[in-house]
Amino acid sequence: MVATTGTPSPISGLDHVKVTVSRACEEEAKAFYGQVLGLTEIPKPAVLRERGGAWYRCGDQQLHLGVEEGSTPQAMAHPAFRVSNLELLQLRLEKANMPIIKDVEIPGYLRFSTRDPFGNRLEFLQRLESSADADEAQASQVKDEVRRMYSRAAEAYVTSPGHAAGEDLDQVVTLAALQPDDRALDVSTGGGHTALAIAKHVAHVTASDLTPRMLTAARDFIYGKGQYNVSFVVADAEQLPFLDDSFDLVTVRIAPHHYAEVETAVREMARVLVPGGRLIAVDNIAPEDPLLDSLLNEWEKRRDPSHVRAYTQSEWQGFLQESGLHLEEQRTGRKQHDFASWTARMQMPEAEEKALSADMLAAPQAVRDFFQVRERNGRVASWAADYLILRATKAS
């Protein structure tokens, strides 16, 4: 035997595996593989049909069921099937009175074997998702939801009075201590209101957002105001596509409660700041009281499925400290929400809006007092929640 070391193998993968049964058992075998295991039968080539048996789709592979006289069951050699829900498959097999054979555990997998009705060994494996994989999948789901929700609400956020103006926006401009030569980054720009307010006083603003349609709406809004020292970049706040030490100022306003990993986002904002650079962050905050915290986030999540969490003021202090930023100033304020426009902005279905209104009105009196829930004609007219504005700097 001659080994051809250093030469790439011409084999690129497996096309199919084959299991054989006695010809007398053909119909019973088709019932097992097609109905009990739930595999989808695919047509055999015409030239092979007279041989009997069946072919099945098995993910990106195929399982070929062959029939022959005097077939001998395979007790060791066997196909191993990738399974997405091992527990469900086990229930199907148990219902069909098939044996469940546990084997030596393999790291990273759940698995068991069975014997088909003809004695062939079959193995089934489900890959265990690592905590890192699970976190990544969850973060991806959150971002997909943000893109979905804000693609359809982009124009509504441009015209939203609570985003277009307000005391918090005025304070952003004041706390930022804007300089004519500043290079600024507005993260999660949304409708572009913060970027526009800053652009009037600095050399250049980069406005970034995860949702392309939102960024387009912001661009049209800002350019429509005659402000052209703004560029637009589609960007994930948790993976900013900018070099270290790129900006004198970073702003983020009323967005971090949508982030899958807010700590990562704050670290990214710190990374792209120049030494001595300033971060101005504004976001809705939850009360320190656990019950009020839970209710606030529940109401927000029901109204907007892309909401992740409004954090407490003490949690924000921790995010800054972990990112190496020095908290210089923090202010809190309260914003009144008109319930009808607050829910309409996210195109909340009427039935869900009514249910949320009823639950808010049914909350304990102390809760309604804290959030200033106001009623009109049996429905919530308005309610209020707190926000935080902070200024932090990066060490020189």
Task: Tell me the domain boundaries of the chain.
Answer: 16-127, 134-394
Q: pTM of this prediction?
A: 0.63
Q: 262 burial class (0-12, 13-18, 19+ CB within 10 angstroms)?
A: buried
Q: What is the pLDDT of residues 243-254, one digit of tens each?
A: 999 999 999 998
CB proximity list for 271: less than 8 A, separation 6 or greater: 240, 244
| pLDDT at res. 1 | 47
Instruction: Please determine, for residue 73, whether its predicted confidence score (pLDDT) is greater than 70.
Output: yes
Starting from the edge strand earliest in sequence, which strands make up the sheet with 54-58, in order?
Answer: 16-22, 61-68, 54-58, 40-42
**Average pLDDT of the residues of the chain:** 88
DSSP 236-263: BTTB--S-TT-EEEEEEES-GGG-S-HH
Fold of 16-127: 2,3-Dihydroxybiphenyl 1,2-Dioxygenase; domain 1 (3.10.180)
Tokens linked to 171 = 């304070």
Q: By the 8 A CB rule, do 191 and 165 touch?
A: no
Q: 106 burial class (0-12, 13-18, 19+ CB within 10 angstroms)?
A: exposed
Q: What is the pLDDT of residues 273-314, one digit of tens each?
A: 999 999 999 999 999 999 899 999 999 999 988 888 999 999
31 against 156, higher pLDDT: 31
Q: What is the pLDDT of residues 109-131, one digit of tens each?
A: 889 999 999 999 999 998 886 55
388 vs 314: CA distance, rounded Å:
11
Q: What is the pLDDT of residues 131-147, one digit of tens each?
A: 555 566 666 776 676 66
Question: Quick one: what percent of the chain has pLDDT higher than 70?
Answer: 89
| 206-223: average pLDDT | 91
Q: Residue 119: count other Cβ atoms within 10 Å of its Cβ.
A: 12
| 141-166: average pLDDT | 61
CATH number 3.40.50.150 given to 134-394: yes
Q: What is the pLDDT of residues 357-396, one digit of tens each?
A: 999 999 999 999 999 999 999 999 999 999 999 999 999 8
Domains 16-127 and 134-394 belong to one CATH topology: no
Tokens linked to 285 = 């905050």
Question: Quick one: what percent of the chain has pLDDT higher than 90?
Answer: 60
Instruction: Please determine, for residue 164, whether its predicted confidence score (pLDDT) is greater than 70.
Output: no
Tokens linked to 320 = 């800054």
| pLDDT at res. 44 | 87
